[in-house]
Amino acid sequence: MNHMDEGLLQAYADEELAGHARTTVEGHLGTCLSCHAELDELRSASEELTRGLLLLSDPQAEIDQYAVGWPRRPGAKRLTRMAALPRAAVLVLALGTAAAAMIPGSPVYRLINPAPRAAQVESAAPPSAAQPIATSTAAAAAAAPAEAGVSIEPLNGEVRVVLRAGSELRVRASIASSPRAGVFATGAAAQARFDASPGRIEVTGAESGDLRIEMPRGAVTTVMVNGRDYLRSTDGEIQLFAPADSRADAEVTFHP
Amino acid sequence: MRAFTLSESDSRTGSFSSVYRTLHPSLLRYLERLTGEKDAAEDVAQEAFMRLLQRPELTDEAARLWLFTVATNLVRDRGRAATRQSRLLKTSPVPIPTSEPLPDAVAERADEVARVRRALDLLSERDRQILLMRQEGFRYGEIAQSVDVSASSVGTLIARALKRFASAYRTGEVS
Ligand SMILES: [Zn+2]
């Protein structure tokens, strides 16, 4: 088996791959521990850089971050995410052009490619949901949009996510190692409207389905739901202002 | 602190102030990290924005890449070696009161900051540029344009630069 070269893995980690290239890497990662390890190393280095740069820009703020125990030894906590990958290899979701068209030409640098979320969608979606999960690349080409989303970079270290959402919506907000903040919708929520501007993502009309919010560890992210502050992540810690369905260290799920 | 003076006749004036507001924090952060010097970063940012005023034909998106590329070249022109040399002679970047005993956390922090700075300084200019541009959210295609390489090689350049940074940060040397 040919291993993936570091450049390809890096491009995968940075969400620069789409379509066939992405599924090829994912398929390989699902079976190859050595490439997993390589990807982990790249991600650790990336986290180390992000953390270091934050420190340079704001030495004082970082002292608190230290106190809450940001992992100093990189790589120790990364396995959970990777463990979900093997099944993703056979699941391909199609991203519709309709979703792309809803996003205005503001500082949205990319539309997130749906493939990497496949494993999560698989476990989260009820079997009957009108969610086009295709089981082969060929079938995926004909499928309707199943995931839409935007990502932005924080503005002055801050991100605001504003949701106008129905109570049928499931929201999962988690701390992510990426320097960018993102909101990704699957199922019916993929039809919602996404607007992005510097430091701010607005999602309107997400009535049901699943929404995932990625909050960069290095930024302060405030999530506002239907007009009130719902939660805030600061230095990798999540502070809740409203009831949640479940909460773990770096992740909260709730219904608006 | 100098301010921009924008004349009414300037064709870019309307959108310029919004471009400035949007891009300045990111550019300044980038330049501070690139040079390690606040003053130099501010000077270069101002100069780059002044030059942008003369390029009204650029779209906002193109202006962003253009601005960072021009600013990076300005830094290079100013002679990084000289500024870095002088910076290395300075003491800790964290202001430390001399009369009181140093709290451990603060001392440790100062040490960390110095290590990060040193690790960055050990990288090549190009490595530093691509890592810092990536950090500001530039896509591979844009980074490729800015450093004049093919887009397909950016992943490899970033991977290697990240590993060199990690090694420099952990051991104080580039592997
Ligand atoms: Zn492999």
| pLDDT level of residue A135 (50, 70, 90 thresholds) | very low
Statement to judge: residues A166 and A229 lie in one domain: yes
Maximum distance among all Cα pairs of chain B, rounded to whole angstroms: 58
Is residue A77 domain-shared with residue A172, that is, in the same domain?
no
pLDDT digits (tens, 9 = 90+) for A178-232: 888 888 887 788 778 777 777 888 888 888 888 889 899 888 998 988 877 789 9
Assess if residue A80 is contained within a domain: yes
Q: Which of A86, A112, A138 is the last residue of a domain?
A: A112
More confidently predicted of A67 and A52: A52
Number of domains within chain A = 2
**Integer Cα distance of B156 and B130 in angstroms:** 11
Spans of chain B, pLDDT less than 70: 1-15, 80-102
CA distance A16 to A13: 8
Contact A11 B117 (CB under 8 A): no
Which of A149, A154, A159, A248 lies closest to A206, judged by CA? A149
Interface test with A, best of B92, B102, B116 (most A CBs within 10 A): B116
Q: Between these two residues, B87 and A110, which has the higher pLDDT value?
A: B87
Is the model's pLDDT at A121 over the cut of 60? no
Is residue A66 over pLDDT 50? Answer: no
Helices within A71-170 (DSSP H only): 79-83, 85-88, 97-101, 118-124, 137-142
Same domain, residue pair A102 and A24: yes
Do A33 and A88 have their domain in common? yes
SS3 category, A127: coil
Establish if A138 belongs to a structural domain. Answer: no
Residue A77 scores a pLDDT above 90: no
CATH topology of domain B103-171: Arc Repressor Mutant, subunit A (1.10.10)
Residue A49, CA distances (Å) to A10, B33, B161 in order: 14, 11, 10
pLDDT digits (tens, 9 = 90+) for A141-185: 334 345 677 788 888 888 989 888 888 888 999 998 888 888 888
The partner residue sitting opposite A55, judged by closest CB among B116, B139, B162, is B116
A103 and A155 belong to one structural domain: no
- Domain annotation covers residue A136: no
The Cα A232–Cα A250 span in angstroms is 12
Cα–Cα distance measured from residue B70 to residue B51, given in angstroms and rounded to the nearest whole number: 9
Same domain, A87 and A18: yes
Q: Is the pLDDT of residue A101 over 80?
A: no
- The amino acid at residue A124 is A
- Report pLDDT for A128: 40
β-pair type (A200-216, A181-186): antiparallel
Helix (H) or strand (E) holding A60: helix A59-67
Distance in angstroms (rounded) separating the CA atoms of residues B140 and B147: 11
Residue A93 has pLDDT above 90, yes or no: no
Assess whether A98 and A181 both reside in one domain: no
pLDDT, residue B82, reads 62
Closest Cα in chain A, distance from residue B68 (Å):
16
pLDDT, position A132:
37
Give chain A positions within 8 Å (CB) of B144.
none
Question: CA–CA separation, A64 vs A66, rounded Å?
Answer: 5
- In-domain check, residue A79: yes
Domain enclosing residue A91, as ranges:
6-112
